[in-house]
Structure 1
């Protein structure tokens, strides 16, 4: 891939990444990167966000729904919290998030589901989408 193509992917990915995850989060991640970790920032921005997320084959809402299920399966709670925010931004409802996590719980196990429900609930309360317990 040429340097120009990579730069185009980075710019496209940066736009999508900021729209889904929020500019503050993305800009902070980039600002905290050093020479070593900037390689990862480029890879994720170019290929995850510029190549995959910017493709026409699936809507962002669907991609968010898939991410919630996969992150539950992987037990990646911090990343799940981030993508719950992104899912809300992409039009996934609280009820849809609940159903996604319930589906994932059945296939991934109760401990994975419990962690996912706790993490999602925490974020949804912070966003004002659920009442505080």
Structure 2
């Protein structure tokens, strides 16, 4: 999602306690799964935002908003994905996700 430099930074920032989790996330999630053929990283980012909104996982959604922007998803597309989540996930999921996304978009100047 953030390239090899981003993965290395996550590994370097992991504590001894969180190292096993970071290894799994880096190898399996961002290695094997995100690198599979069939979907572009942009599409994977969009799907991930929708799933995180559905689950109400705003802290992870914030991380993935940054990744989505890096993968070419526009601010407007992010908004529409999260507004669309209302239909299938409910108002609280949409509201929380939009607030989390807006925080990150403001932080990065998008």
Matched residues, number? 110
For residues 35-68 of structure 1, give each alpha carbon's deviation from its aligned partner in whole angstroms, at most 9, with x where no partner exists: 3321111111111011000111100000000110
Normalising by the residue count of structure 1, what TM-score does the alignment of the two structures yield?
A: 0.75
Normalising by the residue count of structure 2, what TM-score does the alignment of the two structures yield?
A: 0.89
Name the Cα RMSD after superposition: 1.9
Q: Within 5 Å, give how 1:1-133 maps onto structure 2.
A: 17-19=1-3, 23=6, 27=9, 29-129=10-110
- For structure 1, which runs of at least 5 residues remain unmatched after alignment? 1-16
Structure with more relative contact order (C-alpha pairs < 8 Å, separation 6 or more): 2
- Runs (4+) off by over 6 Å: none
Contact 1:72 1:116 in 2 (8 A): yes
Q: Per the alignment, in what secondary structure is the counterpart of residue 37 of structure 2?
A: coil
- For structure 2, which runs of at least 5 residues remain unmatched after alignment? none
Determine which structure has more spread, i.e. the larger CA radius of gyration. 1
